[in-house]
Structure 1
Amino acid sequence: MRETELWARMTKQLGSAYAQVWADQTSLAGLGNRTVREALGAGVPCKTIWRAVWAALELPASER
């Protein structure tokens, strides 16, 4: 997964403005208590980040 796809999926679920805020402010246990932006900066693969986002948002399996 590329970063553009990660952002597209987050935008679909959260809306364009809130996805950015959420990515900056929400620490996810699945990312070692980092935010999405921190994880991206640390080089965490986008697929791993999406799985953590998916779990945190409790999205249906079809969105995985």
Structure 2
Amino acid sequence: MRITVFRRMMAEEFGEVRAEMMARDHVFSALGGRTADQALDAGLPPKEIWLAVCDAFDVPRERR
């Protein structure tokens, strides 16, 4: 998964403004206590980050 795809899926699932806020501000324990943006900057795969977001916010399997 590319970062652009990750960003698009976040916006589609949560809305553009909320997705940006979540990526910047929400700390995920599954990402080592990082936000999604910090995890991306650290080089974690976008797919791994997306799945952590989905788990944290109970995104249905068909939209993962």
TM range (shorter): over 0.9
Which runs of 5 or more residues in structure 2 are unaligned?
A: none
- % identity of equivalent residues: 38
Q: What is residue 58 of structure 1 aligned with on the other side?
A: 58
The one-letter code of the counterpart of 1:40 is: L
Cα separation, 2, equivalents of 1:34 and 1:62 = 26
- What aligned pairs does 1:20-31 form with structure 2 within 5 A after superposition? 20-31=20-31
Task: Please tell me the root mean square deviation across aligned C-alpha atoms, in Å.
Answer: 0.7
User: Structure 1, residues 10-43: CA drift from partner, whole Å, max 9, x if none?
Assistant: 0011111111111111001110110000000000
Which runs of 5 or more residues in structure 1 are unaligned?
A: none
Cα separation, 2, equivalents of 1:20 and 1:50 = 13
Q: Offset of 1:46 from its aligned partner?
A: 0.5
Q: What is residue 18 of structure 1 aligned with on the other side?
A: 18
Cα separation, 2, equivalents of 1:12 and 1:48 = 18
SS in 1 for 2:59: coil
Under a length normalisation based on structure 1, what TM-score does the superposition of the two structures give? 0.94
